Structure 1
């Protein structure tokens, strides 16, 4: 309960500090940089070298790909049938199809299931969500938007992303049976302990809630898919088809149930894919997901 309280506290602190100008306007930008360049690489060094690599770990990672694939199939089909604007279709595919598996997902999983589950959440984020948002999501944005991005630029972005570099390095340490130097571990422990306060404060600073826009039906279509439909699909698929249970099953469902990813909304906005809707999906989705994720937590046991 203390972990959940801290998550809510830092989220509210971020919202309040932005609203009342307790901190500089660009504080969230620097917090995000600190997360990406320092804390997430530290997480890789803390958890990945010790995880027991097995084929069954592919199933949690696969949830991110199923999420985006079903989103593309569903909203792409609805867009054609109902003659939506291409920008609307692209926005819903990308933003609803990507879960916030890192900045919100990892602290939530840690609070609900403990540190053992964090390595699974990090695996889902790096081998699933990050690769999708850096590649397939850009392709979708090019299809439905106006901007163009070369394949070479996409590859460069993936290979140059610090958490992904450290993720690959940590997997190499694991495979080779090496050990992270002892003197590094205390520093890594301190940095990873900063994840919840830094990530949730940064998320809170970036939330922009506009209650006048809550009547937007596309908002609720996107959130209905993200917070209810796709977690239900993963729940049924993984429980009854794959026969998964225990922590692997629980984390797979709960991470899928996370709110839309902020980076996904940024991609949609930068490609002029309904910027207001993209912001709204994140702004409403993150606080609402605290209730729906708890519902899925109780459902999966």
Structure 2
């Protein structure tokens, strides 16, 4: 559980650094750029080539895709009905639709269920959440960005986006059974280890938590979906309709009950999709999810 305390510590460091006048105001922007253009591609090359593509992936991996698809359908519809700003709609779709299946998910699942469950969590993260944030989330961000773009421009942006390029190349490596040289893998592993601390610090630098912010209706729309609706849908679909049980069922529900994904919020922020709300969803969602996950753990264990 030590990883959970580190999550809180790095987030707190980012918040405390806001008070340093000597720190450039663009620090968070530079951190986000590093994370998106360097760290995400290295993670693709490290993990995606090793994914075993077979039928055992379907149920746990589908949970991540169902959650994101439901988020897009729900907030996309609400945005049209209530004429929300497009950047608000895009922010909620991406940030609320993606669960923190790794940084928060891995240590919690491991603590609750052990090593066997961690393997399932890894499948959900690599073949589900990570693929979504590397491809579909970028499409959503381009569509809902304030900048007016033609379809050709959106396609060009996606096809030239480093995380998407690395994702496609990593899939090709998987199909061709290719792996990184050992030396390069070690370098990429080191780079990948910077993701959690720097991402949390970047979120903390941009997090402005005050009474007025906590009162935001949109914050609670996003967190209600992420912490309640998404896991509830998976619980009903897998547990009641499909009659699934065991670790696959329980871990799928617990992983979808995780706080919003840090990387998803970075994608939203980098496309200027309500940056403050994206940071707030993560900053408030992480500590709040510790309570909601406890409730879901009790429910799925009945």
Equivalence for 1:262: 265
| Of 122, 128, 132, the match for 1:124 | 128
Equivalence for 1:162: 162
Q: Which runs of 5+ in 1 are unaligned?
A: none
Per the TM alignment, residue 22 of structure 1 is displaced from its structure 2 partner at its CA by 6.5
1:87 and 2:94 matched: no
1:44 and 2:41 matched: no
| Of 93, 97, 112, the match for 1:97 | 93
For residues 268 and 164 of structure 1, the distance between their equivalents in structure 2, rounded to whole angstroms, comes to 15
Contact 2:207–2:276 (Cα < 8 Å) also in 1 = no
Residues 1-301 of structure 1 mapped to structure 2, 5 A cutoff: 1-21=1-21, 23-75=23-75, 84=82, 86-87=83-84, 90=86, 93-99=89-95, 104-113=100-109, 116=119, 117-118=121-122, 120-139=124-143, 141=144, 147-242=147-242, 249=249, 252-257=252-257, 258-259=259-260, 261-263=264-266, 265-266=268-269, 281=281, 284-293=284-293, 295-296=295-296, 299-300=299-300
What CA deviation, in whole Å up to 9, does each residue of 1:18-70 have, x standing for no partner? 23447332221122122112222222222222221124435445444433443
Contact 1:37–1:163 (Cα < 8 Å) also in 2 = yes
- Evaluate the alpha carbon distance shift between residue 127 and residue 243 of structure 1 in structure 2; reply closer, same or farther with a 3 A threshold: farther
Contact 2:238–2:249 (Cα < 8 Å) also in 1 = yes
For residues 98 and 277 of structure 2, the distance between their equivalents in structure 1, rounded to whole angstroms, comes to 22
Per the TM alignment, residue 156 of structure 1 is displaced from its structure 2 partner at its CA by 1.7
Q: Which runs of 5+ in 2 are unaligned?
A: 111-117
For residues 248 and 158 of structure 1, the distance between their equivalents in structure 2, rounded to whole angstroms, comes to 33
For residues 210 and 268 of structure 2, the distance between their equivalents in structure 1, rounded to whole angstroms, comes to 16
Name the Cα RMSD after superposition: 3.5
- Evaluate the alpha carbon distance shift between residue 15 and residue 179 of structure 1 in structure 2; reply closer, same or farther with a 3 A threshold: same
Calculate the TM-score normalised by the size of structure 2: 0.77
Q: Secondary structure at the match of 2:135?
A: helix
For residues 171 and 131 of structure 1, the distance between their equivalents in structure 2, rounded to whole angstroms, comes to 12
Per the TM alignment, residue 233 of structure 1 is displaced from its structure 2 partner at its CA by 0.8
What CA deviation, in whole Å up to 9, does each residue of 1:121-157 have, x standing for no partner? 1332343234333224544x38xxx753211122122
Calculate the TM-score normalised by the size of structure 1: 0.77
Per the TM alignment, residue 12 of structure 1 is displaced from its structure 2 partner at its CA by 0.8
For residues 186 and 268 of structure 2, the distance between their equivalents in structure 1, rounded to whole angstroms, comes to 35
Per the TM alignment, residue 16 of structure 1 is displaced from its structure 2 partner at its CA by 0.9
